[in-house]
Structure 1
Amino acid sequence: MKHLSTCALALASLSFGVSAVVTAQRPKDEGSPIYGVKLPQGYRDWRLISVAHEAGKNNDIRAILGNDIAVKAFRDGKRPFPDGAVIVRLAWRYESSPRNDSVFPAPQSFVAGPPTNVQVSVKDSKRYAASGGWGYGQFENGVANRDVALTQSCFACHSKLNALEKGADLIFTAYSR
């Protein structure tokens, strides 16, 4: 019995040690550079705002989701968005589907392929005043991309939209009714 207790204690110690090493090796998610934006809990269960296809270099298909605050603002046409609105864009490679096309008379089916990234926009007019009230983050495989230049490009691109369309509040997506 004493031997069994010793073995159990040794196994528990070994498990704790391995767990500590694995945890130490896992990258700590500090959020995005500049803004500190993190992936919101449960975002994949949020409501769909719209979908989009971006051709060219990105060649992706996107689902744009929002938390309750963002969805209400989209539905009500409220601009600027209220603080607390969070918009998440999930992207996948845009691929033809030979499987689906095999049942159609001509190639016509396109589907979401491998995931590329998740982008997050968080509205906080005080915290992100220098970037029009929005904080940005981009994530690959659940981890924030730490590229500062990439993160800076978010606001630079979104601000071009505001120059073209007054009242857009730096948001490309229109609500799909």
Structure 2
Amino acid sequence: MKDKAYGTNTPAYLRRAGRPTYLHFDTGLGERADFEVVTPRTALSDFVPSRLWLPYGVWKLKDGSEVIFSRDYFPMWGISEDRVQRLAPWLWINGIVDQSHFWKAGGGNWTSSSVREMAISQLAAYRIFELPRLIDVMPQLFEADVDSIEDGVRRLYAAGRRDTALPSYAELNTRVLG
């Protein structure tokens, strides 16, 4: 689909057609009037929405490790002296002593090119070149009763995609899982 609202011409995934039409944009879930969405004549390239892979900030922990988190404040990557670990999005991170965001340092909003480049550079500095586990939520985002990334994470967890061993600084996020 193409989103034509506000003079844009950006790709989006169709979640549900109708009035309103529900879409999955690069920056998250949203809705448009049916006349603001068009089906292109040729198929668009698939994309992984930035909301699921682009970091928003970094938590520094008491033990000196760091956790890179998403725009929705879900953990993505755990970084310690000896390893980088993909983290499950349903974890609650304990021992946060500092928090920083890429958008403050970059002078633009989360989706601006300078902030995006800064976040990608940070991933490269940690030698992170794969996608975080948060992208596994994507199929759940097309289910009828899923209205947020958090709903999708809850659904993904319920589907049985759990780790048995949690990092020492994490526990299950009961705010998300109920």
Q: TM-score range by the shorter chain?
A: under 0.3
Give TM-score, length-normalised by structure 2.
0.23
TM-score relative to the length of structure 1 = 0.23
Please identify which structure carries the higher helix content: 1
